[in-house]
Amino acid sequence: MNKAQLVEAIADKVGGRQNAADAVDAVLDAIVRAVVAGDRVSVTGFGSFEKVERPARYARNPQTGERVRVKKTSVPRFRAGQGFKDLVSGTKKLPRGGEVSVKKAPKGSLSGGASTTARTTMKKAAAKKATTAKTAAAKKTTTAKKTTAKKTTAAKTSTAKKTTAKKATAKKTAAKKAPAKKATAKKAPAKRATRKTAAKRTAAR
């Protein structure tokens, strides 16, 4: 049975061929979108569709027998439900007329569709916004720290320069004052020598 035959098979039950085609397209589109997004579509009693990761491996070319490396890839997988398996294996008999009785899916077991895709998209967008906000905050903090460090370094350098200038000025002042004291010290003995000479002259007379 192909897609056209499937549409014809359910056309009488859904009110016409166009309605049947739209219904089939909508169901298949919802399943495909959900599986591509990484969600699992499960219909109790029928089966589940999911995305499976296949690791990289080596295979052989059937024509040449050459060993070929196969890259990592993702593939869709369908697992039949227990009710489907029982009907196919013959454990349960398929009803002749009417629809196949499939257990009603419990609330929340049917995943996928536009709502699930929308939720997934919204979650991803929120995660991206949060990451962007954190990155911006980290950049601002780093910039502020660098600016503060530069200001502190500049202030320390300025203080060190001022201290050095003060020390140099103090040394120059001390150097200027020291020779004056020495000159005064040298002048004192000269006065004493003059007094002694005068005393000697008086004694000689």
Percent of the residues in the chain that have a pLDDT greater than 70, as a whole number: 48
Set out the domains of the chain in order of their start, with CATH numbers. 3-94+107-128 (4.10.520.10)
The pLDDT assigned to 116 comes to: 46
Q: Of the given ranges (11-20, 76-85, 142-151), which has the lowest mean pLDDT? A: 142-151
Q: Look-up: residue for tokens 């002048």?
A: 187
Nearest to 101 by CA among 84, 80, 85, 78: 84
The tally of CA atoms less than 13 A away on the side-chain side of residue 152 is 6
**Which phi and psi (to 5°) does residue 49 adopt?**
-115, 135
Residues 117-173: tens digit of each pLDDT: 445 545 555 566 666 666 666 666 666 666 666 666 666 666 666 666 677 666 666
Q: Strands of 73-80's sheet, edge to edge?
A: 41-43, 47-54, 73-80
- The helix or strand, by DSSP H or E, that contains position 145, with its residue range, turns out to be helix 113-204
The separation between CA 67 and the C-alpha centre of its own chain, rounded to angstroms, equals 39
Count CB atoms within 10 A of the CB of residue 38: 11
The pLDDT assigned to 112 comes to: 43
The predicted model gives 38-67 an average pLDDT of: 93
Beta bridge partners of 60: 67
The pLDDT assigned to 77 comes to: 95
**Which phi and psi (to 5°) does residue 98 adopt?**
85, -170
* Per-residue pLDDT at 46 exceeds 50: yes
Distance CA 31, CA 84 (A): 18
pLDDT band at 94 (very low <50, low <70, confident <90, very high): confident
Q: Of the given ranges (8-12, 78-82, 150-154, 190-194), which has the lowest mean pLDDT? A: 190-194
pTM across the whole model: 0.46
- The helix or strand, by DSSP H or E, that contains position 73, with its residue range, turns out to be strand 73-80
pLDDT band at 181 (very low <50, low <70, confident <90, very high): very low
